[in-house]
Structure 1
């Protein structure tokens, strides 16, 4: 199940949280919960619209460092995010922000790591990103290409000209400090060159973004446990899996109803168990519609590329 979701307070979505352990221990910004401990809180995974889980907000928090732990209940099949130190990044390294935004159901953005800053003796991670919006407090910021979280959004400096588009993060180290017996920092594993995977529904002439991530391992289906949940009843027998095999993005079809892949040079019908390489801007058709697959990762194999002709002997 998608480990990033919106926090809903008394029926109103207000912020973002990220799940950090397999049993539902999650993190958000402490200022989100301040003065609202008695409210009714729920967690809605971003990739599973309409799916809501109760939240216990009585766990540890630290207002000085703006971090809080919560427990997302009634689910135990999380694939949790990995925490890593911001010192793993160097100035200029790309980062990726994912979360709920007040103006829409979901938003994300890219930026770069700047360094650290301090105020009143408290250190903050500093990144530059134009895409942070209200509702993204508590959103994880990932070191692109690793899937590892270096911190969660605390504030955006967006007034005047000084530090415009600077986003301040509570570092991952502060989350570990709240529960050192349960949370650990891990060294980032750079799985591939910096890149982003985007999945969008094609709706007539418009695109509806459903997932943007630097993690190229994605399950799709009607079960709410899938990272990308397909709510349409016509997809009841559809599910599949995107993953990297070496440098090739591969789709494996697991549903009893066929799927169809259309690319610049290929038209494929996929039965249950079939696998095929996927290229940037390939279209995957299921019962309820067509999904556009886009990615930016320069070291990935392109199945639509022309074969280089052999030189004459």
Structure 2
């Protein structure tokens, strides 16, 4: 299961966390949990919206470094995120963040590594990114092309001129220091990929290819104008659309006849106007058959991203 999720306090979303061990130890920013550690905390995984997993707030907190480790209390087949020393990044290197803005179900952003800064004897990782928003405190920032986290979102600076669009991260080295017997730093391996989406009909034990593309915007329906044409009359009231949100594949259902998504850990009925995340090798069922969805997401890096047009405050905690 995707390691990223939303942290919820007493039913209210307040930040982002990401899983760092196979048994459910998750990282976030200390200021996200500091106001009320005794509250009712839950974790909502990105790939399972609507499912809340209990969270135990542990004593593994470094408030000065703004990092914390919490424990997700339900056994899940996690795919923990790897941690890499931030010094593997060089100035100008592409980075991207994944998290949950308060106003959206999920958001992502791109930016570049700047270097290090310090305050009161503490070191911070500094990146330039215009996409960090409220709710993203605790979100992982990855060195693009490696799949490795180099920092945890702590603070965004929104000064009108100097340091504009600067985001300060707690280095992952501070996370490892909280639990050195269980967490390890790895050497990142660059693996730049373009990403591929493959759709196939499932016919018994065999598959029949429908589409293979690096363009993840795919419409499905009875009209011949759709990229995936469904000619069977049983699909006359079926229409949907696949697209990428950040590095996550999302399906939006548009037709009055429902679709069904079957994954390794979930089965969903998707009604008109509803959306859901899609995992690699999930199966999308329509009236006339079942499609196998296979994909590898592209690196999230936009070299043409423009700077923020306006600034509204000096400094903002992401959560």
Q: Which residue of 1 aligns with 2:70?
A: 70
In 2, the alpha carbon distance for the partners of 1:84 and 1:95 equals 13
How many residues are aligned here? Answer: 252
Q: Check 1:67–1:168 CA distance in 2 against 1; reply closer, same or farther (3 A cut).
A: same
In 2, the alpha carbon distance for the partners of 1:194 and 1:171 equals 28
In angstroms, what is the RMSD of aligned CA positions?
3.8
Matches within 5 A, 1:108-257: 108-193=108-193, 211-213=245-247, 222-223=262-263, 225=265, 231-232=268-269, 242=280, 255=283
TM-score, scaled to structure 1: 0.70
- Stretches of structure 1 that go unaligned for 5 or more consecutive residues are 235-239, 243-252, 261-268, 279-292, 299-313
Q: Check 1:136–1:73 CA distance in 2 against 1; reply closer, same or farther (3 A cut).
A: same
In 1, the alpha carbon distance for the partners of 2:31 and 2:194 equals 32
Q: Return 130-139 or 72-81, whichever deviates more.
A: 72-81
Structure 1 outlier segments of 4+, above 2 Å: 192-215, 220-225, 229-234, 253-260, 269-272, 293-298
Q: Check 1:258–1:221 CA distance in 2 against 1; reply closer, same or farther (3 A cut).
A: closer
Question: Quick check: 1:198–1:212 contact (8 Å CA) kept in 2?
Answer: no
In 1, the alpha carbon distance for the partners of 2:22 and 2:287 equals 31
In 1, the alpha carbon distance for the partners of 2:269 and 2:134 equals 30
What is the SS of the residue equivalent to 2:18?
A: strand
Question: Quick check: 1:6–1:44 contact (8 Å CA) kept in 2?
Answer: yes
Q: Which has the higher contact order (CA 8 A, sep 6+)?
A: 2
In 1, the alpha carbon distance for the partners of 2:300 and 2:105 equals 26
- Stretches of structure 2 that go unaligned for 5 or more consecutive residues are 197-213, 222-238, 250-259, 272-277, 302-319
Question: Quick check: 1:8–1:42 contact (8 Å CA) kept in 2?
Answer: yes
Question: Deviations 1:236-257 (Å, cap 9, x if unpaired)?
Answer: xxxx974xxxxxxxxxx67595
Q: Check 1:149–1:297 CA distance in 2 against 1; reply closer, same or farther (3 A cut).
A: closer
Q: Check 1:40–1:199 CA distance in 2 against 1; reply closer, same or farther (3 A cut).
A: farther
